């Protein structure tokens, strides 16, 4: 993604509403809220989250009640609920309000990368909606992923993992939250164990990065992949937005009532640590979300 330099990055954020733009009715000054920022779509520094005051879009703001800001930040991503529940993406049946995670609907979803920020939330949402979740992570992250309620957890470094996942039978949905050559290759070994020449299980893979890029494996005939890119403001997503982000909507209730769970925050601060935090993410984090405390 091209950004002009200098800029201020950072998303999502949490804090107190300090001032309202014209016509804002969803929240009031003093409300405790969390939301994604517009920095990557608007590309202006005032929208970046790595600062003490930041301009956000009313439509994306979620009231969080008494939930600590640090705890709310890893939970407020729109990516997993849009990937899973938008009618234009995987179109899973949405969880009831309140959810009944123990009533299974008999469908299975592979969420590759269960210890990632996006994968962990995806497990939580899919479970709330009654899906059987199959996921991968490093062995050290099994307890974390287990605590999110994943049904089947496999070590992504074990070469036998694709075969063992294949033994679980038909998988209805495929979500690659890692979308690196290693994850794509592992998913293809489940779907086409003998390569293009052998039997191929037709499937559509939703992925968080494009599959069509250098280094990624070629998809055999019958297997398609799509990168998940989602605009909460698009007209076609209005109905999803109402469900997820309206006042009293699923994210607000899910965060306040503890239904939505993800990786724990790893807090650093204050703002002078932003560069260090970006380096940590660049080098690769495991089972946590780096959160900058701007007032420390
Ligand atoms: N399209 C979108 O809208 C969108 C939105 C958000 C993020 N993204 C992209 O989605 C990806 C995930 O983001 P995130 O923030 O969720 O990531 P993250 O939390 O930084 O992911 C870290 C996890 O990735 C796992 N991992 C790293 N290398 C791996 C490999 N070779 N094979 C299997 N697992 C591996 C690690 O698992 P273990 O430590 O357990 O080994 C680690 O827990 C990023 O590329 C990000 O840019 C896209």
Report if residue 7 sits inside a domain.
Answer: no
Report if residue 248 sits inside a domain.
Answer: no
From the CA of 120, give the closest atom in ligand 1: 16
From the CA of 180, give the closest atom in ligand 1: 31
Write the DSSP symbol of residue 167: T
Q: 102-112 pLDDT, tens per residue?
A: 889 999 999 99
Q: What is the CATH number of the domain that holds 134?
A: 3.40.50.720
Report if residue 135 sits inside a domain.
Answer: yes
Report if residue 92 sits inside a domain.
Answer: yes
- Across 180-187, average pLDDT: 98
pLDDT at 151: 98
Write the DSSP symbol of residue 132: E
Rounded distance between C-alpha atoms, residue 208 and residue 226, angstroms: 8
Range of the domain at 284: 13-76+264-293
What value does the mean pLDDT of the chain take? 97
Q: What is the CATH number of the domain that holds 278?
A: 3.90.180.10
Statement to judge: residues 194 and 131 lie in one domain? yes
Task: Kindly tell me if the per-residue pLDDT of 2 is higher than 90.
Answer: no
Q: 14-34 pLDDT, tens per residue?
A: 999 999 999 999 999 999 999
Question: What Cα–Cα distance (Å) separates residue 35 from each residue in 27, 52, 245?
Answer: 12, 14, 10
Statement to judge: residues 109 and 215 lie in one domain? yes
Report if residue 124 sits inside a domain.
Answer: yes
110 Cα–ligand 1 center, Å? 15
- Across 123-146, average pLDDT: 98
User: Best mutation site among 83, 124, 150, 178 for ligand 1, i.e. most ligand atoms within 8 A of its Cβ?
Assistant: 178
Single out the residue in 227, 248, 277 at which a domain terminates. Answer: 227
**Count of domains for the chain:** 2
Report if residue 237 sits inside a domain.
Answer: no
Report if residue 190 sits inside a domain.
Answer: yes
User: Best mutation site among 74, 144, 188, 208 for ligand 1, i.e. most ligand atoms within 8 A of its Cβ?
Assistant: 208
Q: How confident is the model at residue 271 (pLDDT cuts 50, 70, 90)?
A: very high
Question: Closest Cα partner for 62 from 197, 260, 221?
Answer: 260
Statement to judge: residues 45 and 100 lie in one domain? no
Statement to judge: residues 84 and 215 lie in one domain? yes
Pocket of ligand 1 (CB under 6 A): 79, 113, 115-118, 137-138, 141, 156, 177-178, 180, 182-183, 208-209, 228-229, 284-287
Report if residue 8 sits inside a domain.
Answer: no
Single out the residue in 178, 200, 227 at which a domain terminates. Answer: 227
């Amino acid at each position: 993604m091209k950004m002009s330099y200098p800029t201020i990055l950072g998303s999502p954020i949490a804090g107190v509403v300090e001032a309202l733009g014209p016509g804002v009715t969803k929240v009031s000054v003093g409300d405790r809220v969390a939301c994604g920022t517009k920095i990557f779509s608007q590309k202006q520094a005032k929208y970046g989250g790595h600062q003490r005051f930041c301009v956000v879009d009313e439509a994306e703001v979620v009231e969080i009640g008494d939930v600590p800001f640090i705890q709310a930040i890893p939970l407020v991503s729109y990516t997993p609920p849009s990937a899973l529940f938008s009618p234009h993406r995987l179109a899973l049946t949405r969880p009831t309000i309140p959810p009944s995670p123990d009533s299974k609907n008999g469908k299975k979803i592979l969420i590759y990368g269960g210890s990632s920020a996006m994968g962990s939330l995806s497990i939580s949402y899919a479970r709330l909606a009654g899906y059987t979740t199959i996921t991968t992570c490093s062995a050290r992250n099994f307890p974390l992923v287990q605590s999110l309620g994943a049904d089947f957890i496999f070590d992504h470094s074990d070469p036998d993992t694709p075969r063992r996942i294949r033994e679980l039978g038909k998988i209805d949905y495929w979500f690659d939250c890692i979308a690196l050559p290693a994850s794509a290759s592992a998913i293809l070994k489940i779907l086409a164990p003998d390569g293009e020449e052998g039997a191929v299980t037709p499937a559509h893979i939703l992925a968080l990065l494009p599959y069509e890029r250098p280094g990624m494996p070629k998809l055999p005939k019958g297997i398609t992949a799509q990168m998940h890119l989602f605009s909460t403001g698009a007209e076609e997503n209005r109905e999803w937005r109402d469900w997820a982000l309206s006042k009293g909507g699923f994210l607000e209730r899910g965060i306040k009532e503890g239904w939505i769970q993800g990786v724990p925050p790893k807090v650093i601060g204050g703002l002078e640590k932003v560069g260090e935090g970006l380096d940590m993410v660049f080098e690769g984090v495991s089972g946590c979300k780096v959160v900058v405390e701007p007032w420390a």
